[in-house]
Amino acid sequence: MKFAWKIFFTACALLVFSLGLGSFLLVNASFQNTLSARRASALEKADSLRLSYQALLAADQVLSTNLAYHYGLEGGQAQVLESNPFPAGLEPGQQGSRLMAGPEGEVTFQVVLPLETPDGRLLYLETREDFSDIYQMRRRSLAASCLVMAGVCLVSGGLLFWFSRRLTRPLGRLAKAAALLGEGDYSRRAPEDSSTLETAALAQVFNRMADQVESQMAELKEEARRREEFVANFTHELKTPLTSIIGYADLMRTYELEPPRRREYSDFIYREGTRLESLSLHLMELIVLGKAEAPTARVPAKALLEGARRSLLPLLEREKIQLFVEWEEALLRADPQLIQALLYNLADNARKAMDGPLRQILIRGRLTPEGYRVTVADTGRGIPADQLSRITEPFYMVDKSRARSQGGAGLGLALCQRIALLHGSKLEFLSRPGEGTAVSFTLPLAGESRPEARPAAPLPSGPDGMGPAESAAPSPPSRPGPGADAQPSPQPAPHDSFREVNP
């Protein structure tokens, strides 16, 4: 049964019961009052009649009819009887009274009083008075109160019905919202404007729960989407080189080919094979890094940044890119191999992003309150703002065909992010399309870092020289290596960075 109906019926039953009982008790009390008053007066009258009779008897005048007549005028009957009219009998000399019901519902009050004649005989004076009117009045009052009660019940029942509906409506709405939520409509909320505190609080609690559920569902969905995308991208990255390998191998084993053709095809197979190898190595790194523990080695900042510079210089010099390295001295807690791989990858990305006349990369280490902040900045083409949040996702490529032609599978930054996470930091990107990108992360200090960090000193190295990057960097060489961009870089594939970088 609906809650509203339950409230309604219970309240109605209570109302009818209490109203009925109340009015019955009221009517009855007034009836009892009237009855006892009438009894008293009847008894009194009977007594005075007896006294009169007694007096007459004493005077030996028996004119009882007269008195009875008079009594009759007052609405009663009186007679003198020889014997006791009470069925059970009265003790001689005692008086008695009773109510007698007639066959048609009339009620008579009978009083019997003993009379003593002068000669010692015992007579009985009996008076009867009609009490029917009192009973009738009680019946009428009860009927009237029933009528009134019915009216009151009707009106208050209506009010009760409205009220109970109003009281339970928020519950109904809450139930509907909960049902919809259960069916997967996670944006559904219960209205919180209900009149009672409890239902409003319930709706609020429910909505808070729904918020939680919604956000967790969104998170799960996002996670599932990411995973699905990872798998889809992974299959794509896996199947694309496989298609070429299988296809060209199939051509070679089916047809007798001219040597140049054969060479071309085997070259495709070789290159796509290396791509597969790179993909599997990167994936391995991702898996291994996912399980690695936080680094504990103490490394001077200088060793890290200078190591990165040494490994980067040959690559960057060949492409006529200036490299600036600045550092503040500090002792860091880091895995030197991983951090150098990270720096190498970031710088290598920067190198690939160079397409303007200004070709500079800056690697800078600074002491900050949060730790040792390392930034790799470039003057490359930059990253569109709407893609910044996704570039560390595995397989995500801003420019697919360019990344592909440079041998990338979109895993480099995902790896870098993993390394940063392993050091308790995150890659932060600051980029302006057309101007350049700066990637930063923070390394933890190894307890006692030297506070008197000296200002970054430009290091003399490389043919183009090094200088503080902020103060007007030396103007870029006017000959930016003709066609340096178009040629496939003779560098090792990017995955090699993870194997070759040694401090």
Partner 1 sequence: MSPIRILIVEDEVPISRLLETSLTQAGYQCTCAFDGAGCADLLETQRFDLVLLDVMLPGADGFELLPYAREYGAPVIFITARSDVKDRVRGLKLGAEDYITKPFSIEELLARVEVVLRRGHKLASRLVSGDITVDTEARTVLRAGRPVELTAKEFDLLVLFLKNQGIALYRQTLYERVWQDPFEGDTRTVDLHVQRLRRKLGLEGRLVAVYKVGYRLLKEEET
- Interface residues toward partner 1, by CB under 8 A: 232, 235-236, 238-240, 242-248, 250-251, 253-256, 268, 271-272, 399-401, 404
Task: Read off the amino acid at residue 432.
Answer: R
- Coil, strand, or helix at residue 470? coil
Minimum Å gap between C-beta 228 and partner 1 is 9
Minimum separation from the CB atom of position 378 to partner 1 (A):
23
Nearer to partner 1, 119 or 258 (CB): 258
Minimum CB separation from partner 1 for residue 267, in Å?
9
Identify which of residues 18 and 243 has a Cβ nearer to partner 1 in the complex.
243
Residue in the structure block whose two tokens are 């296809």: 247
- Kindly tell me which of 157 and 247 has the beta carbon lying closer to partner 1: 247
**Sign of the alpha-carbon dihedral angle for 349, 350, 355, 359:** negative
DSSP state of 494: G
**Whose Cβ is closer to partner 1: residue 213's or residue 232's?**
232
Nearer of residues 247 and 300 to partner 1, judged by Cβ: 247
The dihedral formed by the CA atoms of 386, 390, 395 and 398, expressed in degrees to the nearest 10: 20
**Residues 387, 391: Cα–Cα separation, whole Å:** 6
Chain centroid, CA 235 distance in Å: 37
Give the residue with the Cβ less far from partner 1, 236 or 263.
236
Q: Are the C-beta atoms of 81 and 123 separated by less than 8 Å?
A: yes
Question: Based on CB atoms, which residue is closest to partner 1, 8 or 395?
Answer: 395
8 A C-beta contact, residue 46 and residue 113:
yes
Q: How far is the CB of 483 from partner 1 (least distance, A)?
A: 19
Residue 187: CB minimum distance to partner 1, A:
24
Q: Dihedral (C-alpha) 416, 421, 427, 428: value to the nearest 10 degrees?
A: 170
Residue with Cβ nearer partner 1 (361 or 409)? 409
CB-CB neighbours of 461 under 10 Å: 14
Element at 420 (helix H, strand E): helix 412-422
Rounded to a whole number of angstroms, the minimum distance from the CB of residue 219 to partner 1 is 22
Pairing mode of beta strands 322-327, 360-368 = parallel
Rounded to whole angstroms, how far apart are CA atoms 180 and 269? 55
Residues in Cβ contact with 407 at an 8 Å cutoff, skipping those fewer than 6 apart: 275, 278, 493, 494
Report DSSP letters for 104-125, one per residue.
TS-EEEEEEEEEE-TTS-EEEE
φ/ψ of 439, rounded to 5, equals -110, 130
The phi, psi pair for 15, rounded to 5°, reads: -65, -50
* Structure tokens that stand for 351 in this block: 């190198």
Q: CB of 50 within 8 A of CB of 56?
A: no
Nearer of residues 240 and 491 to partner 1, judged by Cβ = 240
Q: How far is the CB of 399 from partner 1 (least distance, A)?
A: 7
Query: How far is Cα of residue 324 from the mean position of the Cα atoms in its chain?
Result: 52
Q: CB nearer to partner 1: give 247 or 424.
A: 247
Q: Which is nearer to partner 1, 188 or 271 (CB)?
A: 271
CB of 241 to partner 1, least distance (A): 8
Please report how close the Cβ of residue 271 comes to partner 1 at its closest, in angstroms: 7
Structure tokens at 159: 């009010």
* CB of residue 262 to partner 1, shortest distance in Å: 12
Give the shortest CB-245-to-partner 1 separation in angstroms. Answer: 8
What string of DSSP letters covers 362-375?
Answer: EEEEEEETTEEEEE
